[in-house]
Amino acid sequence: MSGISPSLAATVPSRKRLIQVAALAWFAIIGLDLLMNAGLLAPFYHWDQPGLLPPMKMFQYIPLGYASFLFWSIALVWLIVRTRSYSAAAGARFGAKLGALLGGAAFLGWLSMFSFPPVMLFCWAFDHAVSFKLLTEPPPSWKRREKRSMPSYVWRLWRTRR
């Protein structure tokens, strides 16, 4: 892998495996998005509220939102490799901190420019924080073969084989 030191390259999975992990993370983010927006946040959507597209137009733009989730997934996998957050605990701490920082920043930004109810904006920010925490916890077997702790649900689905 270009741009990675030889000592790190020995512990980094292949490019193919990283692409597979990013794809799996992408599907997990889509699932969480469906749970949050079609389920938990649905009562907060008032279609006559300024700033929201009409339901049919919003439905047409879903692929753009899912494409943005793909970019997030790729960025998260890249950050895991670059920060060497290979243990489950390090990955969870990294994801929780990154998610809280980005979610908090997004909440303040949204609060300053949207007229949506603050609880809805907070739920969106919380969704970011949870997504990052769950998706940045790598399997312990990336660093060592023995399992030391329970990996996140995304990585439980992923079986690392070299």
The residue range of the domain holding 137 is: 13-44+52-156
The count of domains in the chain is 1
Across all residues in the chain, what is the average pLDDT?
73
Distances (CA, A) of 161 to 17, 71, 142, 144, 146: 9, 25, 9, 12, 13
> Is 113 part of a structural domain of the chain?
yes
Residue 87 reports pLDDT greater than 70: no
> Is 144 part of a structural domain of the chain?
yes
> Is 5 part of a structural domain of the chain?
no
Residue 125 reports pLDDT greater than 80: yes
Query: 4 falls in which pLDDT band (50, 70, 90)?
Result: low
Is residue 29 classed exposed, middle or buried when 0-12, 13-18 and 19+ CB atoms within 10 A define those classes?
A: buried
Tokens representing 86 are: 């290979």
pLDDT of 50-75, one tens digit each?
777 787 888 898 899 889 888 888 88
3-state secondary structure of 4: coil
> Is 103 part of a structural domain of the chain?
yes
> Is 120 part of a structural domain of the chain?
yes
pTM for this model (two decimals): 0.64
CA–CA dist 26, 20 (Å, integer) = 10
CA–CA dist 129, 137 (Å, integer) = 13
> Is 108 part of a structural domain of the chain?
yes
> Is 80 part of a structural domain of the chain?
yes
CA–CA dist 110, 151 (Å, integer) = 32
> Is 83 part of a structural domain of the chain?
yes
